[in-house]
Chain A
Amino acid sequence: MSDTKNAGAAARPAGETDEAVDLEAEFKASNIQEVLDKLDRELIGLKPIKTRIREIAALLLVDRLRKQFALTAETPTLHMCFTGNPGTGKTTVAMRMGEILKRLGYVREGHLVTVTRDDLVGQYIGHTAPKTKEVIKKAMGGVLFIDEAYYLYKPENERDYGAESIEILLQVMENNRDDLVVILAGYKDKMDRFFQSNPGMRSRIAHHLDFPDYSADELMAIARLMLAEQNYRFSPEGEKAFAEYIPLRMQLSHFANARSIRNALDRARLRQANRLFAGKKKKLTRLDLITLEPDDILVSRVFQEGRPDGEAG
């Protein structure tokens, strides 16, 4: 969107029917750039996702301009499906999505309602429809985020109430496109199987976004960001130790990208507190309180035994 500058600014001579609208002014008025910048700043990596959000933003902006010329087009469907491994930022992006779509004027409130199978599917006959509808009503004007959406459909049990819930969702996704954006999330292979058995769902979702795994460098950047948010920082040696930790942890089982990093940092904070407590130093400076040293990281079992922390055994 860098070549927007010359699009609308030129003043046409009077009397020409082809009157111009100012794309740049519209762009500025919507504060989209601010949202996109924030996204760039606070979300590390995720190139394909950011590109798609940019495209959606451009589409909605152009749509708004077209409306000024009374060029109506159907409201674009913005239902999305986020697939990716654990901890790749699906929920975080969904949360942002509400705000972005609100800025773009696509949804009215921009709040996020996060649900799983339990919130949608009832326990007995006649329980599912009201339950699903209640959730849908709560999410109207915002974004409905269905985590682990593939659990909705259980092919092995044909009397499962999940199918009813899917049916209602499909209907709402089609008829109330202006009121609600539905985002499904789940692991890639399971979601693929889910869509195979629910072709109607697949075709109603316009955007299938696959969240890539993070590289070690990106995880380091995420760690720094997380620490900064909680008013902590690494000492230079501590940072080096953590940089060694990441690739080791990535090779172990149950690696959940950013979530594993968060857990590792939480444990480092624990050890830091313990170290400060055990150390006989009576007077602590501000710097002592915010700095994570290599000692806080190197005692992790990842280094000692090649096994993730926090696991039994």
Chain B
Amino acid sequence: MMTNPGNRITQGQFSFLPDLTDAQITAQIKWALQHGWAVSVEYTDDPHPRNTYWEMFGNPMFDLKDPAGILMEINNCRKTFPNHYIRVMAFNSTRGGESPAMSFIVNRPKNEPGYRLIRQERDGRSMGYTIESYATDKPEGERYA
């Protein structure tokens, strides 16, 4: 899609902006902690938009007061998976909320090949459409090597 140069995937908050710096990430986490949300770090190498549940990098972090600990985990995760998507999620556990309140990407693979459009011919000249990432041709763990 030529409307999205570099084929950057756009999921969660801030994904149309240039990558956040560590200082900006810290500020965002600070905001989450001020609301009492539990922050967790997750990673994946399957960029499909319907891939909702990413792998957890360690447990969600409850009862933190300061973003430094979370930034430490983000950097650990970046070291372990330098070519994966990594996102930070803030979970609102208050009754009635109980859902992610924030989610933004903090690490991307160097090359994001984007998606191919797949057309499926169905009965009666109707067409089904779906997308598939070029990266997911390879097995998990080798996709962005």
Contact A141 B68 (CB under 8 A): yes
Contact B65 A141 (CB under 8 A): yes
Tell me how far the C-beta of A285 lies from the nearest C-beta in chain B, rounded to whole angstroms: 45
> Measured between alpha carbons, how far is A14 from B59 in the docked complex, in Å?
59
Residue B63 at the chain A interface, CB threshold 8 Å = yes
Contact B63 A179 (CB under 8 A): no
| B65: contacting residue among A109, A130, A176, CB under 8 A | A109
> Measured between alpha carbons, how far is A190 from B131 in the docked complex, in Å?
66
Residue A142 at the chain B interface, CB threshold 8 Å = yes
Residues in A with CB closer than 8 Å to B68 are: 108, 140-141, 176, 178-180
| A138: contacting residue among B59, B64, B73, CB under 8 A | B64
Residue B20 at the chain A interface, CB threshold 8 Å = no
| B70: contacting residue among A130, A137, A178, CB under 8 A | A137
Contact A138 B63 (CB under 8 A): yes
> Measured between alpha carbons, how far is A14 from B124 in the docked complex, in Å?
90
Q: Mark A100-134, 1 if CB is under 8 A from B, else 0.
A: 00000000110100000000000000000010001
Closest to A172 in B: B72
> Measured between alpha carbons, how far is A136 from B73 in the docked complex, in Å?
12
Residues in A with CB closer than 8 Å to B69 are: 136-138, 140, 179
Residues in A with CB closer than 8 Å to B70 are: 137
Residue B58 at the chain A interface, CB threshold 8 Å = yes
Residues in A with CB closer than 8 Å to B63 are: 138
Contact B66 A130 (CB under 8 A): no
Interface size, chain A (Cβ < 8 Å): 15
Residue B61 at the chain A interface, CB threshold 8 Å = yes
Tell me how far the C-beta of B36 lies from the nearest C-beta in chain A, rounded to whole angstroms: 14
Contact B58 A138 (CB under 8 A): no
Residues in B with CB closer than 8 Å to A140 are: 64-66, 68-69, 72
Closest to B66 in A: A141
Contact B58 A142 (CB under 8 A): no
Tell me how far the C-beta of A178 lies from the nearest C-beta in chain B, rounded to whole angstroms: 8
> Measured between alpha carbons, how far is A137 from B75 in the docked complex, in Å?
14
Tell me how far the C-beta of B24 lies from the nearest C-beta in chain A, rounded to whole angstroms: 17
Residues in B with CB closer than 8 Å to A109 are: 65-66
Contact A179 B58 (CB under 8 A): no
Which residues of chain B from 45 to 70 have a CB within 8 Å of any chain A CB? 58-59, 61, 63-70
Given contacts A137-B72, A137-B73, contact A111 B65 (CB under 8 A): yes
Tell me how far the C-beta of A126 lies from the nearest C-beta in chain B, rounded to whole angstroms: 13
Q: Mark A122-160, 1 if CB is under 8 A from B, else 0.
A: 000000001000101110111000000000000000000
Tell me how far the C-beta of A258 lies from the nearest C-beta in chain B, rounded to whole angstroms: 28
Residues of A within 8 A of B (CB): 108-109, 111, 130, 134, 136-138, 140-142, 176, 178-180
Residues of B within 8 A of A (CB): 58-59, 61, 63-70, 72-73
Query: Which 5 pairs across A and B sit closest by C-beta, in order of nearness?
Result: A141-B66, A137-B69, A179-B68, A140-B68, A140-B69
For this complex, 25 residue pairs linking A to B, each with C-beta atoms less than 8 Å apart, are: A111-B65, A130-B58, A130-B59, A134-B59, A134-B61, A137-B64, A137-B69, A137-B72, A138-B64, A140-B64, A140-B65, A140-B66, A140-B68, A140-B69, A140-B72, A141-B65, A141-B66, A141-B67, A141-B68, A142-B65, A142-B66, A176-B68, A178-B68, A179-B68, A180-B68
Question: 13 new A-B pairs (CB below 8 Å) besides A130-B58, A137-B70?
Answer: A108-B68, A109-B66, A111-B65, A130-B59, A136-B69, A137-B72, A140-B69, A141-B68, A176-B68, A176-B72, A178-B68, A179-B66, A179-B68
